[in-house]
Amino acid sequence: MTTAEVRQSFLAALNAVGSMDELERIRVEYVGKKGYVTELLKGMKDLSVEEKKTFGQEVNVLKNEVNEMISAKREEIHQKELEEENNKMPEFDISIPANLKRGSYHPITLVQRQCEEVFKSMGFAVEDYSEIVTDYECFEALNIPKDHPARDMQDTYYLDNGQLLKTHTSAAQNAIYKKYKDALINEGKPIKAIFPGRCFRNEATDACHENTFFQMEGVMVDKNISISNLIFFMKTMLSEVFQKDIKVRLRPGFFPFVEPGFELDISCLICGGEGCPSCKHSGWLELCPCGMIHPEVLKAGGIDPDEYIGFAFGLGLTRLAMMKYGVKDIRDLNSGDLKCLDQFTDDK
Ligand code: DAH
């Protein structure tokens, strides 16, 4: 082949190239060790000195042209590949304003905060406690020994190491007594604390039962505490939260960790006391079991029951939220359904 023929066939081949692989094949074919251009140079040995000079120059020009065109093609293919890659990505325009809705607090968080404010204003400390507790904290220290029938109502989720997900916020009572007892005994400071928390039970769920729910426990221990103190604090809290007087009733209730024990019910605010699924058609809702702390429970907390006395209550925060916001089915609160949950945004 002549120089002109090699150039022509190279141009045709280059034109047809569509990928880096093809390009590399052509490079080897023309300017590789055994390529057409290299072969042209090898053919020079039979030429005269004069011819060698002109022909040599010609071939070198061709070789440079070929190399340059291959580089240019390589860049072209590279750009095309980048473009294709970019086209695959979704369009992103930083100047478009974000159209995100602001989040809102969960109704239970809102009610919890309101209760905390009310109790803080009455001198109570707000405490937090673990969701994983020991059998001792959840039962034994609360006067519920192994095999006590009260345990049947509080089946829960157990960990391999014997610990469990707390079935009630009462599980923190023992730790609270131990934390504050020295100030009570040595400085005469009454124990006044509330401790909200998430609780768990192995429950069959329905409109008013869930396996995960919130309670808020409260305790007060001092020298002269009576049931009237308990009733006063409960009524104050309810009228603050609902911003109106709420009909309540107190009836006897049994809990091993209080003596005497009560059920504090409020008139169902969903049906106005007429009866509906939320109140099991009774018109009343058990909202806040309570009572005077059992001497054994005080003793387990390191407090002498002959000298001190106190009350405890376990407010159903989830129930309270349902009443306050008119949520008919407890399961909606854990559903993560924003249609239900984000109605409370203005209440922040
Ligand atoms: N821990 C009890 C429960 O979840 C509720 C309770 C009853 C708490 C009486 C109290 C109390 O502090 O005094 O069933």
pLDDT in tens, 161-196: 999 999 999 999 999 999 999 999 999 999 999 999
Contact 279, 271 (CB under 8 A): yes
Neighbours of 144 (CB within 10 A): 20
Residue with the smallest CA separation from ligand 1 atom 14 is 168
Question: Exposed (0-12), middle (13-18) or buried (19+): which is 111, by Cβ within 10 Å?
Answer: buried
Residue 91: per-residue pLDDT: 66
> What are the angstrom distances between the C-alpha of 157 and each of 24, 162, 200, 212, 233?
66, 10, 7, 11, 33
Pairing of strands 284-293, 212-222: unpaired
Residue with the smallest CA separation from ligand 1 atom 6 is 314
Measured CA to CA, the distance from residue 259 to residue 291 in angstroms comes to 6
Predicted TM-score (pTM) of this structure: 0.70
Residue 89: per-residue pLDDT: 66
Residue 346: per-residue pLDDT: 52
Sheet of 191-200, strands arranged across: 125-126, 191-200, 212-222, 309-316, 284-293, 258-267, 248-252
Residue 160, Ramachandran bin (φ over 0: left; ψ between -120 and 50: alpha; else beta):
alpha
Distance 67 CA to ligand 1 centre (A): 87
In this structure, what DSSP letter does residue 44 have?
G
Residue with the smallest CA separation from ligand 1 atom 7 is 289
Residue with the smallest CA separation from ligand 1 atom 3 is 168
Measured CA to CA, the distance from residue 166 to residue 163 in angstroms comes to 9
Residue with the smallest CA separation from ligand 1 atom 12 is 313
Residue with the smallest CA separation from ligand 1 atom 5 is 314
Residue 90: per-residue pLDDT: 67
Residue 347: per-residue pLDDT: 45
Give the residue from 224, 250, 253, 226 showing the smallest Cα distance to 238.
250
Residue 244, Ramachandran bin (φ over 0: left; ψ between -120 and 50: alpha; else beta):
beta
Pairing of strands 132-133, 164-165: antiparallel
Residue 337: per-residue pLDDT: 81
Residue 5 corresponds to which amino acid? E
Distance 263 CA to ligand 1 centre (A): 9
Torsion of CA 134, 136, 138, 143, to 10 degrees: 180
Residue 240: per-residue pLDDT: 87
Residue 348: per-residue pLDDT: 42
Closest atom, ligand 1, to C-alpha of 293: 13
Ligand 1 — pocket residues by CB below 6 A?
Answer: 168, 170, 217, 255, 258, 261, 289-291, 312-314
For 155-191, letters b (16+ CB in 10 Å) and e give ebeeeeeeebbbbbbbbbbbbbbeebbeebeeeeebb
Residue with tokens 């309810």: 238
Residues of the chain with pLDDT under 50: 347-348
Contact 325, 104 (CB under 8 A): no
Contacts of 134 (CB under 8 A, 6+ apart): 162, 163, 164
CA atoms within 13 A on the CB side of 29: 15
Question: Exposed (0-12), middle (13-18) or buried (19+): which is 215, by Cβ within 10 Å?
Answer: buried
Distance 218 CA to ligand 1 centre (A): 10
